[in-house]
Structure 1
Amino acid sequence: MKNLTHSASAALSTRNDAEYQTSRRRFVKLSAAAMGLAAMPGSIAFAANMMATSAKVGLQLYTLRDMMAVSLPATLKLVAAVGYKELEFAGYFDHKPSEIKTILQNEGLTAPSAHIALTNFDSGVNGVIDHALEMGHKYIVIPYLTEEQRGTGIDVYKKLAERCNGIGEACNKAGLQLAYHNHAFEFEMRDGQLPYDVLLNETDKDLMAMEMDLFWMVKAKQDPLAYFKKHPGRFKLWHVKDMDEAGNFADVGTGTIDFAPIFAQSALSGVEHRFVERDKTDDKLKTIQQGYKAVSQLLA
């Protein structure tokens, strides 16, 4: 996913009134459907919760960013109704940490991770750390590099690795963990080296973990299992995201990615949190229901 510095006012200001009203009506409809879903004994949430697994299924909230812009509290209530227990934030939409923490507690949710743009560190690491601690996060994840940030040549990534070691050290001292989320561009060869390998090899494993996006790994024709074997224990977070036959996004469990052998190597990877995500979807409720069901089955 791409990280955006979200705020509700900024998001809504880009829409005209008709678009906003349409979005809000759709959101209300989805919320009502989710509440009904949670109340039905035969619901996906009920069925998945009955599965024998101690692992919690997480959701990357970028999937529901439009709904978050309309109402963060109602969106989190919807997510909890489907059955999710863990969240990864991608913006807070002008809500204070205290407000969000109260909602999370009321809905039985936790937020172990958040995507924080690299530019947020430009004014200092301490502000980012303080906010993460207020939120109760454990992981701070660098989610995306703009084309300008990627630059040219492999030295860009060598310098980034050095910077990440510094940020990661500050995070560790505060009881947090820095992580990096991949797309496909980290696997484009530069000066005979893969940027992703540079980030892995030139950052201290204790100072920066990796959040492996399974969709983008497959898109880049990379083998997650090979990386688990070469860097065991390094991939503390996953984005579980599926791909259709055309190479586009799909609801988890409906596409072409074979997740079973990947999940079978969870211990080798070191994964602690798995977040369902779909960057673009026309049916958000269906997407998060299907993702929850599929990951619950994989963990059972």
Structure 2
Amino acid sequence: MDGTRRTFLGTALGLAATAGLTGGLGGTAHAGESCGRRRIPPSGLGMHLYTMRGPLATDFKGTLARLAEIGYATVGVSGRHGNSAAAIREMLDETRLKAVLEHVAYTTLTGSGLPQALEDIHTLGARWAVVPSLPGAMHTPAGFREAAREFNRVGEAAREGGLGPLLFHNHGSDHAVVDGENLFEILLNETDPELVGFELDVYWAADGGADPRSLFVRHPRRFPALHVKDRAPDGGFADVGSGVLDFAAMFDTARSGGVRQWLVEHDSPADPFATALNSYRYLSRLRY
């Protein structure tokens, strides 16, 4: 585990001990399965297809069919593996899955590729275009302010095109404090809530020291989609429900955040279909 993760884990556990906070960590994820009355609506339980990139590369439609058999209702598209948006839509319709978003490069959305990208979102039957990351050189307050301006512009184009707000997908470094400013907070505070939202990756939020519960409350309705990704005790990735993140506590304020889609993700699954099944079983039974 690197220094950043050690620091985060130590700080989070210290906060939990002194203030009773367990929403980010704590080994209580499994206990949360039987707690509370809320559940993730079946129509909101999806798979981010980056998890399935190996099987998709050899059998795109077959992979979608197996996800549908497990019980998933939606997908987030991340890489087309040589298929057109129209071809993917046809396969989604045949397997009774619905695309809710697609990851599109920042340079595409801020450049001449924007009109086609928005048209492809429509073709997929999805609602949101998502910026998956920002170039490393932009990880300064000035760079994030430039991104905020661009996000507002692209978000306006998306709205004019009949789509939902532009979303941004975070990584741990997006929560860094640089020159006294939290980069992620710049995006939250300097983008128009009507035009820009966030697909919060809860693993990377935790990695960066952020508390999803607090974000949902402080910035209501800004988080229509989540990447639900668990953290192994050693700081690596884990199937959802098998790691240390307390999803029951985390999701308790999800309604305030406007969450509508819970998309499973694992960055490096040993067996993508086992990960898909394990994660679905956990989330479909979770009460919070």
Normalising by structure 2, report the TM-score: 0.82
Larger relative contact order (C-alpha < 8 A, sep ≥ 6)? 2
Opposite residue 170 of structure 1, the aligned amino acid is A
1:198 aligned residue: 186
1:12 aligned residue: none
1:160 aligned residue: 147
Structure 2 residue 286 is matched with structure 1 residue 298 = yes
8 Å contact kept, 1:53–1:299: no
Cα distance in structure 2, aligned partners of 1:101 and 1:187: 34
SS in 2 for 1:123: coil
More displaced stretch, 278-287 vs 94-103: 94-103
Cα distance, 1:251 vs structure 2: 0.5
Map 1:201-216 to 2 at 5 A: 201-216=189-204
Cα distance in structure 2, aligned partners of 1:198 and 1:99: 38
Q: Deviations over 1:142-180 (max 9, x none)?
A: 0112324x25x3100001100110000000111112100
2:116 aligned residue: 127
Q: 1:197 to 1:52 in 2, by over 3 A?
A: closer
Alignment match of 1:110 (pick from 94, 98, 106): 98
Opposite residue 118 of structure 1, the aligned amino acid is Y
Cα distance, 1:75 vs structure 2: 1.2
Map 1:180-199 to 2 at 5 A: 180-199=168-187
Structure 2 residue 277 is matched with structure 1 residue 289 = yes
Q: Deviations over 1:99-138 (max 9, x none)?
A: 2222111111000111111121222421111111111110
Alignment match of 1:147 (pick from 136, 143, 150): 136
Opposite residue 69 of structure 2, the aligned amino acid is A
Map 1:262-281 to 2 at 5 A: 262-281=250-269
Identity within the alignment, % = 32
- In structure 2, the gaps of 5 or more residues are 1-38
Opposite residue 136 of structure 2, the aligned amino acid is E
Cα distance in structure 2, aligned partners of 1:187 and 1:203: 16
Cα distance, 1:52 vs structure 2: 9.3
Structure 2 residue 224 is matched with structure 1 residue 236 = yes
1:79 aligned residue: 67
Cα distance, 1:190 vs structure 2: 1.4
8 Å contact kept, 1:55–1:299: no
Q: 1:185 to 1:252 in 2, by over 3 A?
A: same
Q: 1:166 to 1:263 in 2, by over 3 A?
A: same
Cα distance in structure 2, aligned partners of 1:165 and 1:120: 15
Opposite residue 182 of structure 2, the aligned amino acid is L
Cα distance in structure 2, aligned partners of 1:101 and 1:290: 26
Cα distance in structure 2, aligned partners of 1:154 and 1:52: 36
Cα distance, 1:54 vs structure 2: 4.6
Structure 2 residue 57 is matched with structure 1 residue 69 = yes
Q: Deviations over 1:183-239 (max 9, x none)?
A: 101111112111100001000001101111010111112111111111011111100
8 Å contact kept, 1:213–1:238: yes
- In structure 1, the gaps of 5 or more residues are 1-50
Structure 2 residue 159 is matched with structure 1 residue 172 = yes
8 Å contact kept, 2:269–2:275: yes
8 Å contact kept, 1:132–1:140: yes
Q: 1:137 to 1:290 in 2, by over 3 A?
A: same
8 Å contact kept, 1:116–1:143: yes
8 Å contact kept, 2:129–2:166: yes
Cα distance in structure 2, aligned partners of 1:130 and 1:91: 16
**CA-based RMSD:** 1.6
Cα distance in structure 2, aligned partners of 1:81 and 1:243: 26
1:16 aligned residue: none
- The alignment covers a number of residue pairs equal to 248
Cα distance in structure 1, aligned partners of 2:132 and 2:243: 24
Opposite residue 71 of structure 2, the aligned amino acid is G
SS in 2 for 1:144: coil
Cα distance, 1:53 vs structure 2: 4.5
Q: Deviations over 1:36-88 (max 9, x none)?
A: xxxxxxxxxxxxxxx99554310000001111111211111121121111000
1:24 aligned residue: none
